[in-house]
Chains A and B, each alone.
Chain A
Amino acid sequence: MKWNHSTFINSFLLVLMFCTFWSCQDEDNTIVDRDYQLVWEDNFDGSAGKAPDASKWVYDLGIGPGNDGWGNQELQYYTNRPENVALDGTGNLAITARRESYAGRGFTSARLNTKGVFAQAYGRFEARIKLPWGPGIWPAFWMLGANIDQVTWPQCGEIDIMEYRGQEPNLIYGSVHGPGYSGGAAITKSYGFTNDRFDVDFHVFAVEWGKDFIDFYVDEVLYQRLTPEDTPGEWVYNQPFFIIMNIAVGGNFVGFPTSQTPFPQTMLVDYVKVYKEVN
């Protein structure tokens, strides 16, 4: 399968229609056509309740290596039970956050990744996702540098293809974290709908990543291009990254859930696909 990108101008009308939080400001966003070839995918086909393909996904379990809510004061306990992660039987992966007492925590959820299974530098990384909602719900589709165990975070780099706060269901964020610009100082940009939300239909979240650039997309819309000039510290994105998907509950980025947060909340992932650029 090949991807052929039309010019940015072709997307211009739609950008105007949907985007308010991003102002179409400069020539950095002029992009060239790229041809991509599919190299890795999971379409999450299978019967309901089944675990996703074990040859493609591994799990982060518990409350994080530092017992600190994965470094973010997140409130959930990650499990790989079907209650928290399973195929839905209609071609989607369902990651479900629940309000329940479990292993000393008040919430459960799941976090999957391809660490040690699949990692790649450059290409198009995309997922088609219908997001959950509610205050304190923090789903993400993101990547970490595969050398994290050698150089640690944030030196390994982090590319957040999509993050979202359940109390702002019409906004998503694309970010990078690196040395000197991580956590609250990450380089980030949001993309939003004025009269739609990300939790009522599926949307495609993607980055197109090459040497010294990362372009962030929602559906057909490029809303952020990052290059080494945009990062105050070292550009650490010229090495393989692996993929992560999760729903966090609470945490520094999103704030606590409230009694009004509807539970359970499910993120449906139609597919995850990774392409390589063909020259």
Chain B
Amino acid sequence: MQHLKHKIAALFLFASLALITVFSCKRDIDGLAPATFPTTPEVFIDGFSAGLNYAAFGGSKVTAFDVDAEVKYKGTASMKFEVPDAGDPKGAYAGGGFITSVGRDLSGYDALTFWAKASKAATIDVVGFGNDFGESKYQVTLRGVKVNSNWQKFIIPIPDPSKLKQERGMFFYSEGPENELGYTFWIDDLKFEKLGTIAHPKPAILDGQNQVFSVETEQKLNIGGLKVAFNLPTGIDQSVDAAPAYFTFLSSNPAVASVSSAGVVSVADAGKAVITAKVGELNAIGSMTLNSSGKSVGPATPAPTPTVKADSVISLFSNAYNNVTVDTWNTRWQFSTAEDSEVKIAGNDAKRYRSLNFVGIEFSSKTINASAMTHFHLDIWTPDPTDLPKTFKVQLVDFGPNGTFGGGDDSSHELSFSRPTLVSNEWVSLDIPLSRFTGLTKRANLAQLVLSGEIPNVYVDNVYFYNAGIVAPPTGPTVAAPAPTRSAANVISVFSDTYTNQAGTDFNPNWGQATKVTQLSIAGNNTLRYENLNYQGTQFGSNLNVSSMTHLHLDIWSKNSSNLNVFIISPGPVEKAVVLKVPTNGWSSVDIPLSDFSPVALNNLIQFKFDGNGDIYLDNLYFYKNAVVSTDPTTAAPTPTFSAANVISVFSDAYTNVAGTDLNPNWGQATKVTQVPVAGNNTLLFTGLNYQGIQLGSNQNVSGMTQLHLDFWTANSTELKVFLISPGPAEKPYTLKVPSSGWTSIDIPLKEFTPTVDLSKVFQFKFEGNGKIYLDNILFHK
């Protein structure tokens, strides 16, 4: 009797419903139930239903909606919507919403339905419900509604009717011109229904995709692509956009990432979390997997503030300048994984790129004419390793006169930067001469900047073109002061990277000065800077005895100082100023004899002092004595060991020399020529060299020889050349490196002198230069 049993069950159910209704009424009488809201299903049948109001959307043509008694699906009237033509001054589109003053309880229905037709085949952009011109918490949107000149029924399913206990947004629509042309569509019999014939709801987040995101702490992400598909009574699926409030979101690991009821994910820590969602009891397809790397690593200080004057700059991005329009900082070209964001670093804006493989930055809507510019500048900062062969590449693209991509007039060039230019965890300022972009043949229509390379995390700031010709001079040196070469044994150093400095020096004792003192690294070299100098002291850690020293050395650099004195001070105080020449042209190395500081007690120095004005860079403050330098050799030139058979000798004790040679022919020279024994060895000495000849006793054929050998010794020559001469005269010089360090033996290949000199008849030597030169063992050999 199975059938009968079913019927009994059904009857019981009906009875239960009846009981519930009765019970519910009783509660109402007791005043305990919450206020109930009307369940009116009709929105517009032949006119506005109770409590319904219409409002047009902002910017829309407010007269687009009207009630039409002529065209209707059923009854006496329909809703008519006139979509304007493009450019209609009264509004660009038709759009608005129908809301009730009192919310309705729509939980007993499963869809909003209507019939629609249009004056021509068209696709209505959006229709839906749940837009209450406020929170629109339960908005549902159906996109792309295809209408034509026949009446058709449309269904917008309610993703979860139990949510709609007090809904005010009955219907909304928005539609623009199609191909710039307006048209009219009509909607009739607009009402909520309990269809029962829509089935298989399929909620989705992220459009049903399982997406993976690399994120970091404090990042927030919106879960988009919230949809619910229903199978319509026609057997096909239709998807609607559903508001987050229909969904319940779940994080697999809230300690890593939590998710709000509005579908906003907040990353809290490093790790992995998967966000999923449900509508009612149905699991949504799609998921958001978050791989969090934890707290972000970024620069603690802003990029250096640009000092280039604004009138010689075209800036794309900088707080220091007015920036031109950049269409996008991330063109999201295919295969680009770059994510961009704007960050503040101690109040200063910077661009941040993550997952950077390459990124397009485009300013094509208004191209940049950088014809008058000489340099491109940008500051970058990366936490990533920058070991070789990692690179950071900068490409500039000019779209040419046609101002658009392609057309045969484009040009571009890419430059690659790597270590040592590229460093990690520091701002790197790239000042790139535009001339280095050799492939960029034009720069009147620059339209793209492309950054790429193997450092996925990059902060970028101060992106600008500038003209270095009209640029304000840099206020500081860009190269280090020249490194001292004096032997440490002869130096007492106060401030230098080259030497061990005196311990305990206070470079900024408080003497009431206005000067700002900093130590900074210039090209890797520690440098002392006085800004806004009025006066400035330096207090030694202990009293210095420099009486064995002869000079004070210092390197100074200043573009803007017009007055600068240096003092050394002994107790008393006893001090003496020496004037320093400013401004400098680059680094100026100054050596001041200590006698200039008399009467300061050189055996008991306590302080330095500078006074004057401007910004001064100082380095290599040290006292030194000149090493005792002998001006004469104490040993003989090394004795040559060539076999005599392979030698043609001009001047040597070791061989038979060419007969009849004149070691001091009168060619009008100032040089004094003598022959002196050095440690028993006959040696040729030129004193006060300007030039000096040697006339051989006869023409010598040295073409069978390979080298000219000579030994020379000089403590003070700074220039020395030797010439070989054949008749003509045909001569050619060879430069010798001076001063020498002790005896220098040199074997000059004779081909250095050919083909100018005819080796078959060499007849003269000549020396040119300066100083005091000892020479020996002048010979040809093979």
Q: Tell me the complex Cα distance, A11–B2, Å.
A: 12
- B198, closest chain A residue (CB): A197
B194 at interface (Cβ–Cβ under 8 A)? yes
In the complex, how many residues of chain B place their beta carbon closer than 8 angstroms to a beta carbon of chain A?
A: 18
A147 at interface (Cβ–Cβ under 8 A)? no
- A3, closest chain B residue (CB): B2
- A17, closest chain B residue (CB): B10
Q: Looking at the complex, which of A69-77, A107-115, A166-174, A179-187 is the stretch in contact with chain B?
A: A166-174
Q: How near does chain B come to A195, taking the closest CB pair, in angstroms?
A: 3
Selected from A10, A11, A199, A258, the residue in CB contact (under 8 A) with B199 is A199
- B11, closest chain A residue (CB): A13
- B4, closest chain A residue (CB): A6
Selected from A10, A137, A167, A196, the residue in CB contact (under 8 A) with B4 is A10
Report chain A residues within 8 Å CB of B194.
Answer: 195
In the bound complex, do residue A200 and residue B235 qualify as a contact, i.e. CB atoms below 8 Å apart?
no
Selected from B6, B10, B200, the residue in CB contact (under 8 A) with A133 is B200
Q: Tell me the complex Cα distance, A268–B194, Å.
A: 27
Which residues between 261 and 279 of chain A lie within 8 Å of chain B, taking CB atoms? 261-262
B698 at interface (Cβ–Cβ under 8 A)? no
Q: How near does chain B come to A229, taking the closest CB pair, in angstroms?
A: 27
In the bound complex, do residue B7 and residue A133 qualify as a contact, i.e. CB atoms below 8 Å apart?
no
Which residues between 158 and 213 of chain B lie within 8 Å of chain A, taking CB atoms? 194-197, 199-200
With A10-B3, A169-B231, A220-B6 known to touch, is A262 a contact of B237 (CB < 8 Å)? yes
Which residues between 1 and 32 of chain B lie within 8 Å of chain A, taking CB atoms? 1, 3-4, 6-7, 10
Q: How near does chain A come to B196, taking the closest CB pair, in angstroms?
A: 3
Q: Tell me the complex Cα distance, A196–B196, Å.
A: 5
A4 at interface (Cβ–Cβ under 8 A)? yes
In the bound complex, do residue B195 and residue A195 qualify as a contact, i.e. CB atoms below 8 Å apart?
yes
Which residues between 455 and 503 of chain B lie within 8 Å of chain A, taking CB atoms? none
A39 at interface (Cβ–Cβ under 8 A)? no
With A195-B194, A220-B6 known to touch, is A261 a contact of B236 (CB < 8 Å)? yes
B638 at interface (Cβ–Cβ under 8 A)? no
In the bound complex, do residue A10 and residue B237 qualify as a contact, i.e. CB atoms below 8 Å apart?
no
In the bound complex, do residue A262 and residue B197 qualify as a contact, i.e. CB atoms below 8 Å apart?
no
In the bound complex, do residue B233 and residue A170 qualify as a contact, i.e. CB atoms below 8 Å apart?
yes
In the bound complex, do residue B197 and residue A197 qualify as a contact, i.e. CB atoms below 8 Å apart?
yes
Report chain B residues within 8 Å CB of A11.
Answer: 3
Report chain B residues within 8 Å CB of A133.
Answer: 199-200, 231, 235
Q: Tell me the complex Cα distance, A168–B199, Å.
A: 12
With A5-B3, A6-B3 known to touch, is A200 a contact of B200 (CB < 8 Å)? yes
B334 at interface (Cβ–Cβ under 8 A)? no
**Interface residue SS majority, chain A:** loop
In the bound complex, do residue A167 and residue B197 qualify as a contact, i.e. CB atoms below 8 Å apart?
no
- A200, closest chain B residue (CB): B199
Q: How near does chain B come to A232, taking the closest CB pair, in angstroms?
A: 32
Report chain B residues within 8 Å CB of A193.
Answer: 196-197
- A134, closest chain B residue (CB): B235
Size category, A interface? 20 to 34
With A6-B4, A10-B7 known to touch, is A135 a contact of B197 (CB < 8 Å)? no
Q: How near does chain A come to B407, taking the closest CB pair, in angstroms?
A: 39
With A6-B3, A10-B4, A14-B10 known to touch, is A169 a contact of B235 (CB < 8 Å)? yes
- B235, closest chain A residue (CB): A167
Report chain A residues within 8 Å CB of B630.
Answer: none
In the bound complex, do residue B199 and residue A166 qualify as a contact, i.e. CB atoms below 8 Å apart?
no
In the bound complex, do residue B236 and residue A135 qualify as a contact, i.e. CB atoms below 8 Å apart?
yes
B643 at interface (Cβ–Cβ under 8 A)? no
In the bound complex, do residue A166 and residue B235 qualify as a contact, i.e. CB atoms below 8 Å apart?
yes
A260 at interface (Cβ–Cβ under 8 A)? yes
Which residues between 187 and 213 of chain A lie within 8 Å of chain B, taking CB atoms? 193-197, 199-200
Selected from B7, B197, B233, B235, the residue in CB contact (under 8 A) with A14 is B7
Q: Tell me the complex Cα distance, A261–B236, Å.
A: 6
Q: How near does chain A come to B236, taking the closest CB pair, in angstroms?
A: 4
Which residues between 1 and 23 of chain A lie within 8 Å of chain B, taking CB atoms? 4-6, 10-11, 13-14
Selected from B3, B196, B231, B234, the residue in CB contact (under 8 A) with A194 is B196
Q: How near does chain B come to A11, taking the closest CB pair, in angstroms?
A: 7
Q: How near does chain B come to A224, taking the closest CB pair, in angstroms?
A: 18
- Chain B contacts to A: CB under 8 angstroms: 1, 3-4, 6-7, 10, 194-197, 199-200, 231, 233-237
A-B contact pairs, 22 of them (CB 8 A): A5-B3, A6-B3, A11-B3, A13-B7, A133-B199, A133-B231, A135-B235, A166-B235, A167-B234, A167-B235, A167-B236, A169-B199, A170-B197, A170-B233, A194-B196, A195-B197, A197-B199, A199-B231, A220-B7, A260-B236, A260-B237, A261-B236
Closest 10 CB pairs between A and B?
A: A195-B196, A167-B235, A260-B236, A166-B235, A134-B235, A200-B199, A220-B3, A135-B235, A196-B196, A133-B235
- Chain A contacts to B: CB under 8 angstroms: 4-6, 10-11, 13-14, 133-135, 137, 165-170, 193-197, 199-200, 220, 258, 260-262
Given A13-B7, A137-B235: 5 more A-B contacts, CB < 8 Å: A133-B235, A195-B194, A197-B233, A199-B231, A261-B236
